[in-house]
Each structure stands twice: as C-alpha cells, then as structure tokens.
Amino acid sequence: MGCYDCCMRCLGGVPYCSLVATLLCFSGIALFCGCGHQALTETERLIENYFARNLQDYITLAYIIQYFQYVIYGLASFFFLYCIVLLAEGFYTTSAAKQTFGEFRSTMCGRCLSSSFIVMTYVLAVLWLLVFAFSALPVYFFYNMDATCHTIDVLTETPASINQLCVDARQYGLLPWNAVPGKACGMTLSNVCKTREYRMTYDLYIAAFAGAGITLLALLTYTVSTTYNFAVLRYLGRKGIGARC
C-alpha cells in the first residue's frame, strides 16, 4: 500500500463532525466560563461601588456570585473531559462503520455505549438550553441600563426629567428592597455607564452569552453525529458484521 493510500485510509477514519463539535465546544466553554467568571467579579464591584453602601445589603449576592464561580470551574472541567470522550467515541464509531483498521468491527458493547452517549448528550443539550436562556438575563439587564443611559444623554437639557430615569437593582433581585441607595438615577447613572467597569462587564456578559450559544451548537452537532454513527453501527450489526464482546 502506497503512502497516498495509507493517508487516505487514515483520513477516512477521522470523525470530522465530532472534531468540529469538539472545537466548538472547547471554544464555547472557554468563552462562557472565562468571560462569565470575570463578569461576575466585575458585577460585584459595580454593585458595591454604585448601588449599595452597606456590606450587609449585597453580602448574599456576593455569596451567590462565589457559588456560581465554583460552578463555572466544575463546568469547565466536566465539558473538557466529556468532549474528549465524545471525540474518542466518534473515532471508534467512524472506524467501525468504515472498517478502516483491518478487522475492526462494531460490537454490541460499542453500540450500547453509543446509545448511552446519545441520551447523555441530548439531556445535556436540553439542560444547556436553560443555561443559554439564563445567560441572556444579565445581557438584558445591561441592555436596559445602556438604553436608559442613552436616553439621559439625549435629554441632558432637561435635568428635571433626567432625574426620573433610574435603574433599580432591587427590581432585578440583585439587592434586597431595604438596600440603600439600591438604584442610580440621572447623571449619576450616566456617569456609571461611562466607567470602564460598566463597559467591560457588559462586553463580558455578551461574550459569555455567545459562548453559551456556541456550546449549545456543539452539543447539537454531537447529538446529530452520534445518532448517525449509531444508526450506521446498528445497520452493520443487522447485516451480521457486528461482534459481541
């Protein structure tokens, strides 16, 4: 067998869909976890500097932020390992389906394992859809805040009406109702929107939202590829090609 045939034989066993899904998953999780972690830290700083004067007013929020940051650490580790396992499973099923490596064939255990990954990936995709929707909430909050600041900049010639434009963190459940001041109004709010902390936090939440979307796309790609590979393995098994382990 020549070098060209050998290379084509090896390339024929590459699960390209799983490979693309793995790259998407790695990039999406890195974006979501990295930007989300930093965005939570900056959010706590914004609340501390502009919306709450007493530590007791935002101590619960600080604990929640710390808890979510630990969850982010766990998500990053879990998805890194899970994507590696799915990629390895893609190599296995692709090789078995295409009979790339000699007498390598699909087995009953291999088909059971593939079906298990299909179910797990489908459940993860549904759960991650909730995470994707949840990650849109801070983007919505900062979008409303940015729109209010833009309105204040337009109405700078009428200070009386400007002072009635506020963003109340208590309405979003970030602070208790007895928190002081709990909200920012008028030019104070406009100055907050011009700070580096606000712009960076807003951009980080947008990046984390995009990362969640990329991860969801990767999980859907995994679901499609694993389902296809399982269907091919089952077809080969019905033809008597599969062996029992």
Predicted confidence band of residue 69 (pLDDT cuts 50, 70, 90): very high
* 123 assigned to some structural domain: yes
* 12 assigned to some structural domain: no
How far does CA 130 lie from the centroid of its chain? 10
Q: What is the pLDDT of residue 16?
A: 75
Sign of CA dihedral 183, 189, 195, 199: positive
Provide the β-strand partners of residue 52: 181
3-state secondary structure of 238: helix
pLDDT in tens, 133-143: 999 999 999 99
Rounded CA separation 2/6 (Å): 6
Cα angle 16, 19, 22; round to 5: 155
DSSP H or E segment with residue 183 = strand 183-185
How confident is the model over 197-226, as a mean pLDDT?
A: 93
Strand-pair category, 183-185 with 166-168: antiparallel
Sign of CA dihedral 186, 187, 189, 190: positive
- Single-letter code of the amino acid located at 10: C
Domain count, the chain: 1
Rounded to two decimals, the pTM is 0.84
Q: What percent of the chain has pLDDT over 70?
A: 79
* 160 assigned to some structural domain: yes
* 25 assigned to some structural domain: yes
* 131 assigned to some structural domain: yes
Could you tell me where the DSSP H helices lie in the chain? 3-12, 16-46, 55-98, 108-154, 159-162, 186-193, 196-238
* 225 assigned to some structural domain: yes
pLDDT in tens, 143-193: 999 999 888 888 776 666 788 888 998 888 888 888 888 888 888 888 999
pLDDT surpassing 80 at residue 4: no
Structural domain for 89, as ranges: 17-237
* 243 assigned to some structural domain: no
Q: Which residue has the higher pLDDT, 138 or 5?
A: 138
Could you tell me where the DSSP H helices lie in 99-195? 108-154, 159-162, 186-193
